[in-house]
Each structure stands twice: as structure tokens, then as C-alpha cells.
């Protein structure tokens, strides 16, 4: 027997019901971010492997063990993007960032790929919605991005979200922090696994990504990032906190948020949801002032975030899909098909947001009405979010008289009227 084909491990299909929820979330993103002057960018799903090694960082888990990397037919090393910030920066540098008016405000939505151990909320193909603001060095840039993020979350009904923020030292201060971290961990290094010992020597900040409970215990008493900030960084952090408070963005501080990507400088933040299980980080972001220059562009401060769209949709309790009216057009025999298809198109023109389905079975009125009632009660993955269902019954009498008979399935009320009255009857009333 031929083995059954299955979706690859860590991927999942989005059926219409879920796809509609994702589309509705993306529509809110487009409206909220667009309303702040952010334009949408779509970058390639795969990029040169070198891009991620140089931005996300060689010693991060993402680059080290989670990338889908493959040679193309000409032997070039390509990688399915594990995140989108690197691609956005690459696109801007390639376009000539120095010639663009600043600041540059962009957002994106799309699939990302990481070879992780799948579990609830953690996939190998997942979707992100992200934002990047380039060319603003002051804390006002961070505050714009985080304030906009909270407006977006509120619109989706996630009004209990709280940001956790931290500030990661830059330059010489970062070196000093890394040294202090090493000094703290080294005396207990024999209790660490091989990988964490490597992290300790190569990039001690990455120890915070360790999932080993022993490593976590050692880090509990570790030096705090905030004690290593130089004066300018400390002022940036204090200013951000002041701006967030006056914008009424709920936040707390935590020294253990360092994020699993190397490009961050100064501000980093995350938002978790109590509604999710172990994989509860809905989003993460921060400032990356050195990345544009590292990828060959002019020095450009930048800040952004990316939301895990799959986790966001799982955490949402409100159904953001707009409810729609359904017209179920029933030709009572195949003789009425042509009339029915014409009437269905007219209804679509009058009621732009309505769902207009034609019963193509030709099995008569009784079966047609039964199917319409089924659609109303349908909670399956395939279902629309339908609020009112009207059956549009088209038999030989309607075809001959050029009329339509409309039956409201909830009230059971039925009326017949001339087909030419459809626009007037439906105008402004239907979604």
C-alpha cells in the first residue's frame, strides 16, 4: 500500500475558519500600523545563509541548530528565513538606505521557519507580524513602536497584556557585562553541559537562552544588565520608562530578558500571555542600532518587534472575524441554474460583504433548505462565521415571472418580489 502523505512535522494547515481569523488579525495590523505611517514590506522567504549568520549571530540557537539551510542547484547556500528583521535590513541596504527619507517605517506579515522541537505553540513553520522603525535613535522611537503594539493588542481584545522590558549594554559596557557574567559562572562551570560551557566562552549572554535548569539556577545570582549601562544608555532607558508610563503602556522590568538574537542593543522587550502554556511569549523585540552598519549600510539606529501570529490567535478569546450574512440560492431544478447564477451575481453586487452560495446539487427545494440550515449551525473548520441565513428560492414560477422568493431561516418569514427590486431591498442592510 502507498504510505499516506502527511504534512511535515511542525507544520499545520489553516482551514478557512482559521485562515479567516489570521486574515482578520492581519487586517487590524494593516489598519493600526498603516494609521501610524507604516508601509507593508514583503521580503523573500529565503535569503543567503550568510545574512542570518551575520545578523542573528553564529552562536545563537537559531543559527546554530534551527535553520533550514540548503544548497541550490548552483551550490549557493540558502536558508528559509527564521525571522524577518535581517531580510528587511538587507532589502533597505540593497535599495540604498542613505537615499531614503527618514524615518523609515515598515511592517510585515509572513511565514518563518525554525527547526525546533514542535509542541503546543511551537512550530517549524510559523507566522510573524512585525514592525521595524529605522532612523530614530531616541527613546521616543521605542515608545512609538511599543505604544502602537499595545493599541494593536487592545483592538484584538488582549487588554491584559503587560510588556517586560530590559536594557542591554552596548560596546565597552557590554564587554564589561560579559566579563562579569563569565566571572560569575566560571567557578560553577563544571555543573554546566557541554553546550553551555561553549556559550560561556564564546558568547556568555547566550547562557540566558539555556533551557538547562542547572544553568538557570547558576544565572539566578548573576550580575544584572542594568548595573552595567553607561550614562547615555541609562538615560535612554529612564526616558523610555517615562514615555511608556505617560502613554499608559503597562510594563515591568526584568534583568533576565536578553532575547535569543545577537543584534539587540539597549531596549529589549517581550509580552507573554497567561492564556498560553509553556510557549507563552506572544512577541519579542527591541533596539538594534548596530545591525544596519554590520550589514553594509550607513549607521542607522533601529527598533522593532515581531509577534508570533499563531500564538497570538491562540491567545485571543474574541472572534475577530466579521460575522457575515449568507444567501443560500436554491434553484429547485437544473432548469433554473442559469437564472440562479444570474440572481446570485446580482445579490453579490448589492451586498458586497455577504456570502452568496449557490446550491449546485439540483436536488430540489427540501434538500436545498436542509443544506442551508446546516450551514447556519456549522461550527466546522470549513465554516464561515455566518449570522443570518436567507434561502433564495428560485423555481420555474420565479424564473417565468422574473421574481425571487426569499426565506429568512431564523424567523421562517418568506416573501416574493420582483428581481429588479433586489438592489433596493438589500441596499445598506447587508454585510
Which residues bind to ligand HAM, rule: CB under 6 A?
83-85, 114, 116, 122-123, 126, 128, 130, 132, 260-261, 281-286, 288, 304-306, 308, 310-311
Instruction: Single out the residue of 169, 145, 364 nearest to residue 243, CA to CA.
Output: 145
Closer of 132 and 290 to ligand HAM (Cβ)? 132
- The DSSP secondary structure of 15-48, one letter per residue, reads -HHHHHHHHHHHHHHHHHHHTTTPEE----SEEE
Least distance to ligand HAM, CB of residue 121, Å: 6
Task: Enter the C-alpha cell of residue 219.
Answer: 544565572
Q: How far, in Å, CA of 72 to CA of 79, rounded?
A: 10
Q: How far is the CB of 93 from ligand HAM (least distance, A)?
A: 16
Please say which residue, 282 or 372, places its beta carbon nearer to ligand HAM. 282
Nearer to ligand HAM (CB atom), residue 281 or residue 320:
281
Provide the 10 A C-beta neighbour count for residue 296: 12
Query: 396 vs 231, 327, 330, 361, 403, CA distance in Å?
Result: 84, 19, 12, 16, 10
Nearer to ligand HAM, 192 or 315 (CB): 315
Beta bridge partners of 308: 128
Residue closer to ligand HAM (CB basis): 88 or 181: 88
- The answer to whether 390 touches 405, Cβ cutoff 8 Å, is no
CA 279 to chain CA centroid, Å, is 15
Residue nearest to ligand HAM as judged by C-beta position: 308
Min separation Cβ 82 and ligand HAM, Å:
7
Nearer to ligand HAM among residue 307 and residue 365 (C-beta): 307
Closest to ligand HAM by CB, 151 or 419: 151
**φ, ψ for residue 279, nearest 5 deg:** -85, 70
- The DSSP secondary-structure symbol of 160 reads T
CA gap 214, 226 in Å, rounded = 24
Q: Are strands 386-394 and 324-331 parallel, antiparallel or unpaired?
A: parallel
Amino acid at each position: 500500500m502507498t504510505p499516506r502523505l502527511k504534512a511535515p512535522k511542525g507544520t499545520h494547515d489553516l482551514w478557512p475558519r482559521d485562515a479567516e481569523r489570521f486574515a482578520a488579525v492581519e487586517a487590524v495590523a494593516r489598519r493600526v500600523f498603516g494609521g501610524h505611517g507604516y508601509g507593508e514590506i514583503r521580503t523573500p522567504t529565503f535569503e543567503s545563509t550568510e545574512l542570518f549568520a551575520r545578523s542573528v549571530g553564529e552562536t545563537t540557537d537559531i543559527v546554530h541548530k534551527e535553520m533550514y539551510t540548503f544548497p541550490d542547484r548552483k551550490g549557493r547556500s540558502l536558508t528559509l528565513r527564521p525571522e524577518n528583521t535581517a531580510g528587511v535590513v538587507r532589502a533597505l541596504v540593497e535599495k540604498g538606505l542613505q537615499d531614503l527619507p527618514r524615518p523609515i517605517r515598515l511592517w510585515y506579515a509572513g511565514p518563518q521557519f525554525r527547526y525546533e522541537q514542535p509542541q503546543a505553540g511551537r512550530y517549524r513553520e510559523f507566522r510573524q507580524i512585525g514592525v521595524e522603525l529605522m532612523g530614530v535613535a531616541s527613546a521616543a522611537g521605542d515608545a512609538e513602536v511599543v505604544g502602537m503594539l499595545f493599541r494593536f493588542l487592545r483592538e484584538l481584545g488582549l487588554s491584559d497584556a503587560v510588556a517586560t522590558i530590559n536594557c542591554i549594554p552596548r560596546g565597552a559596557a557590554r564587554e564589561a557585562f560579559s566579563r562579569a557574567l563569565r566571572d560569575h559562572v566560571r567557578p560553577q562551570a563544571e555543573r554546566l553541559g557541554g553546550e553551555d560551557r561553549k556559550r560561556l566562552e564564546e558568547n556568555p549572554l547566550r547562557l540566558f537562552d539555556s533551557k538547562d535548569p542547572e544553568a538557570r539556577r547558576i544565572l539566578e545570582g548573576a550580575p544584572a544588565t542594568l548595573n552595567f549601562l553607561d550614562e547615555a544608555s541609562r538615560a535612554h532607558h529612564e526616558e523610555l520608562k517615562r514615555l511608556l508610563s505617560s502613554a499608559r503602556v503597562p510594563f515591568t522590568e526584568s534583568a533576565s530578558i536578553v532575547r535569543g538574537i545577537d543584534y539587540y542593543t539597549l531596549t529589549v522587550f517581550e509580552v507573554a500571555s497567561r492564556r498560553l502554556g509553556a510557549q507563552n511569549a506572544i512577541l519579542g523585540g527591541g533596539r538594534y542600532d548596530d545591525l544596519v552598519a554590520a550589514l553594509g549600510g550607513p549607521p542607522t539606529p533601529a527598533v522593532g518587534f515581531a509577534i508570533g501570529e499563531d500564538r497570538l490567535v491562540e491567545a485571543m478569546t474574541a472572534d475577530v472575524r466579521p460575522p457575515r450574512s449568507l444567501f443560500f440560492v436554491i434553484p429547485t431544478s437544473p432548469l433554473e441554474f442559469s437564472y440562479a447564477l444570474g440572481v446570485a451575481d446580482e445579490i453579490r453586487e448589492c451586498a458586497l460583504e455577504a456570502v452568496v452560495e449557490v446550491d449546485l446539487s439540483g436536488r430540489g427545494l427540501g434538500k436545498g433548505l436542509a443544506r442551508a440550515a446546516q450551514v447556519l449551525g456549522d461550527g466546522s473548520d470549513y465554516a464561515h462565521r455566518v449570522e443570518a441565513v436567507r434561502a433564495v428560492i428560485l423555481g420555474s414560477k420565479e424564473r417565468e415571472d422574473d421574481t425571487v422568493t426569499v426565506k429568512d431561516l431564523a424567523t421562517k418569514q418568506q416573501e416574493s418580489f420582483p428581481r429588479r427590486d433586489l438592489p433596493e431591498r438589500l441596499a445598506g442592510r447587508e454585510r
